[in-house]
Amino acid sequence: MQQAIVIGAGGGIGRACVDHLVRSRRYGLVHALSRAPDPDSLAGVRSGSIDIADPASIAAAAEAFAGDVDLVIVATGLLHEGGRGPERSLGALDPDWLLRQYQVNAIGPALALKHFVPKLARDRRSVIACLSARVGSISDNRLGGWYGYRASKAALNQMVRTAAIDIARTRARAVCVAIHPGTVETGLSAPFRGRVPPDRLFSPAVAAGHLLAVLDGLQPADSGGIFAWDGSPIAP
């Protein structure tokens, strides 16, 4: 039986990914992990707890799984919280806020890779993907600002790239990538999407369809890459 795991299933994109995976009927069981599991899950969905900012929670969530896993999506991210948002200048840098962004955007997903990669199937193609962002590309940074978010997503991209090299040694058919969903109508993007053209503002359902279609098309040779919602590669 094929299994899929969505970490961050309580968010807009994560929840939409769960729905899409269930409708596809490709997986006998979809595990929806979040800080507040939904007790009324759909048929074929098993809810579970995880806190991407808590290393012990990540380890415990992975330990609970039995059997091989074919797909893991880490659909978590932090851009603003409690009145704090992207820094627009050097003078706005705050060490506690920087640390918080790294904890959620880089360290937590890296630990998810650590604990969930051993669950991936060895005898067939498997995929583990982390939601990243185009602004994490160092070579694509022409506007500046958003220091903590940019830097933490760049760190995530490097974690994914390094993990992909490691994973290939034991799982030659595995794909490990970072993926940029575009601008999606979720709470994360709400304060910042006013100037986004309508054709580039996606509902969570549309974004989930894009992401899963891209992941379906990737091969082991693509492992370690960063890909946009339309399948195009993003330079580091």
SS3 58: helix
Q: In the chain, what are the domains?
A: 3-228 (3.40.50.720)
- Confidence at 187, pLDDT banded by 50, 70, 90: confident
The token pair that represents 143 in the structure block: 């506007």
Q: What does the alpha-carbon distance between residue 112 and residue 104 come to, in Å, rounded to a whole number? A: 11
pLDDT value at residue 55: 98
The token pair that represents 131 in the structure block: 């939601």
Q: Are 73 and 6 in contact (CB under 8 A)?
A: yes
Q: Could you tell me what percent of the chain has a pLDDT over 70?
A: 97
Neighbours of 83 (CB within 10 A): 5
Who wins on pLDDT, 67 or 230? 230
Per-residue pLDDT of 83-102, as tens digits, reads 999 999 999 999 999 999 99
Q: What does the alpha-carbon distance between residue 101 and residue 109 come to, in Å, rounded to a whole number? A: 12
Per-residue pLDDT of 19-41, as tens digits, reads 999 999 999 999 999 998 877 66
The token pair that represents 182 in the structure block: 């575009």
Q: What is the mean pLDDT of the chain?
A: 94
Q: Are 35 and 51 in contact (CB under 8 A)?
A: yes
Neighbours of 89 (CB within 10 A): 9
- Confidence at 114, pLDDT banded by 50, 70, 90: very high
